[in-house]
């Protein structure tokens, strides 16, 4: 077809534009999902599964290109992506001109299969559809066939246009809302590790135990864990004895697909900002849980979220911003992110929820794990995911100190929740219990 009438290309969605602008040698918005399998991983079978799965997901089989005014995505003709043995420091920054230009990575170690994704491509909701399908194809290669359906896409069917839609643009309508800059929050930073050292600490616990405890406070699991993390960071700030304590706030991503029907496998999230202001006085833990519960229920609202995403899209499509060259635009967007995306927050907590699979897959997976890459400052981010009765809660960051993760898991133990803790930290870090 006459060389396909020019190479196909994709516009970055609203979130992808931001993550591409923030990209630099020291930082990339990278996250990782891992599946710990019952059988030891066969790297050759995994590579065959990657090769068979990638054509079904063209939104992941891309490289990023620099235009005069915006970055954009185009199909990646390079060989790969190739499965690699795992590395000591995961979620390394992406370099657009290295590794064949691939923006996803596949690793294996022992029983673990890991997928890393540059956030400009997709959010966790989209990446989990890709990962679930890949695991199903891999199990087929290992002699355990898994039918499509129940979240596993058929790799023999062509990609659907709906999977590549920019859902932000689709639902940007009505009255826009540009949120005011939040007050500067306590930053919860500390001593930075040498580049590039990502300290990872993971707690494994029972979903049933956690659910019972959360319900005893009248909260969901996400609300309960958010409150626990806010409590710990409040205590971190109190130990510093500041003259004027700042708010402690968390960025909690919300999957918009639950409110705005979309099959997109690209980004489609917003964040809410539950916070506690210690200047008002000391809060008990039940009071923190109550505030988080009511804040989340009040602000995770279809009308408000649509107004916010409309405001974000209108900002991106502003005619003046469109005309600014990319080399000038990136610093503007990076400054905007520091003011609106870092300054008002003490950290991030994300919980994609339970990883659901077809019944044929379940016996072959031991547990799931999730990890956020480094922050733009030396502090830890928290992420959790569950499979069956096992939840993995992971803290990851380039911070030497262990105060946040140590006190968080200690608090849950005092709450009567049994936890097994694993870490890639060395003994010099004086980890936890």
Q: Which pLDDT score is estimated for 3?
A: 38
Q: ω before 71 within 30° of 0 (cis)?
A: no
Residue 332: how many CB atoms within 10 A of its CB? 12
Distance of alpha carbon 347 from alpha carbon 408, whole angstroms? 14
Distance of alpha carbon 134 from alpha carbon 238, whole angstroms? 46
Residues 6+ apart with CB under 8 A from 284: none
Distance of alpha carbon 50 from alpha carbon 211, whole angstroms? 35
Record the tokens describing residue 177, joined without a space.
């809302």
Give me the DSSP letters along 43-91.
HHHHHHHHHHHGGG-TTTSEEEEE-SS-EEEEE--SS---EEE--SS-S
CA separation (Å) from 137 to 45, 131, 339, 411, 427? 9, 10, 43, 40, 39
Residue 84: how many CB atoms within 10 A of its CB? 15
Distance of alpha carbon 111 from alpha carbon 46, whole angstroms? 12
Distance of alpha carbon 92 from alpha carbon 106, whole angstroms? 13
Name residue 71's beta-bridge partners: 66
Q: Which pLDDT score is estimated for 7?
A: 55
CB 18 within 8 A of CB 70: no
CB 340 within 8 A of CB 371: no
Distance of alpha carbon 419 from alpha carbon 413, whole angstroms? 7
pLDDT in single tens digits along all 433 residues of the chain: 333 434 578 889 989 988 888 888 778 899 999 999 999 999 999 999 999 999 999 999 999 998 888 889 999 999 999 999 999 999 999 989 889 999 999 999 999 999 999 999 999 999 999 999 999 999 999 999 999 999 999 999 999 999 999 999 999 988 887 767 778 999 999 999 987 789 999 999 999 999 999 999 999 999 999 999 999 999 999 999 999 999 999 999 999 999 999 999 999 999 999 999 999 999 999 999 999 999 999 999 999 999 999 998 987 777 777 778 888 888 878 877 777 778 999 999 999 999 999 999 999 999 999 999 988 888 999 999 999 999 999 999 999 999 999 999 999 999 999 999 999 987 444 444 4
């Amino acid at each position: 077809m006459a060389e396909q009438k020019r190479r196909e290309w994709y516009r970055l969605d609203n979130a992808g534009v931001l993550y591409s602008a923030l990209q630099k040698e020291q930082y990339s918005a990278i996250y990782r999902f891992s599946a710990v399998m019952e059988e030891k991983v066969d790297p050759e079978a995994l590579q065959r599964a990657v090769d068979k799965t990638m054509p079904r997901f063209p939104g992941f089989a891309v490289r990023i290109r620099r235009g005069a005014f915006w970055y954009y995505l185009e199909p990646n003709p390079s060989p790969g992506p190739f499965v690699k043995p795992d590395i000591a420091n995961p979620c390394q920054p992406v370099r657009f001109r290295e590794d064949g230009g691939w923006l996803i990575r596949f690793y294996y170690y022992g029983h673990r299969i890991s997928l890393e994704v540059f956030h400009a491509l997709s959010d966790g909701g989209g990446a989990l559809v890709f990962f679930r399908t890949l695991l199903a194809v891999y199990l087929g290669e290992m002699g355990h066939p898994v039918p499509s359906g129940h979240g596993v896409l058929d790799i023999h069917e062509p990609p659907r246009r709906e999977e590549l839609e920019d859902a932000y643009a689709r639902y940007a309508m009505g009255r826009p809302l540009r949120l005011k800059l939040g007050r500067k929050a306590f930053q919860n930073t500390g001593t930075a590790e040498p580049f590039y050292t990502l300290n990872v600490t993971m707690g494994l616990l029972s979903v049933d135990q956690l659910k019972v405890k959360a319900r005893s406070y009248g909260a969901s699991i996400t609300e309960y864990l958010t409150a626990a993390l806010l409590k710990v960071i409040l205590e971190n700030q109190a130990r510093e004895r500041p003259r004027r304590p700042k708010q402690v706030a968390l960025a909690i991503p919300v999957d918009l697909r639950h409110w705005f029907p979309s099959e997109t496998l690209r980004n489609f999230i917003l964040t809410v900002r539950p916070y506690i202001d210690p200047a008002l006085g000391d809060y008990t833990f039940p009071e923190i849980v109550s505030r988080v519960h009511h804040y989340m229920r009040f602000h995770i609202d279809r009308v408000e979220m649509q107004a916010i995403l409309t405001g974000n899209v209108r900002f991106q499509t502003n005619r003046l911003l469109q005309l600014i060259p990319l080399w000038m635009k990136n610093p503007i967007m990076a400054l905007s992110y520091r003011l609106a995306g870092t300054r008002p927050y003490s950290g991030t907590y994300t919980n994609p929820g339970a990883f659901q699979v077809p019944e044929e897959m379940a016996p072959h997976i031991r547990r799931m794990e999730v990890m956020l890459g480094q922050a733009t400052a030396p502090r830890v981010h928290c992420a959790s995911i569950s499979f069956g009765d096992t939840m993995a809660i992971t803290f990851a960051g380039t911070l030497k100190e262990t105060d946040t993760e140590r006190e968080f898991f200690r608090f849950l133990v005092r709450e009567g929740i049994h936890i097994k803790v694993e870490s890639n930290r060395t003994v010099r870090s004086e980890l936890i219990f």
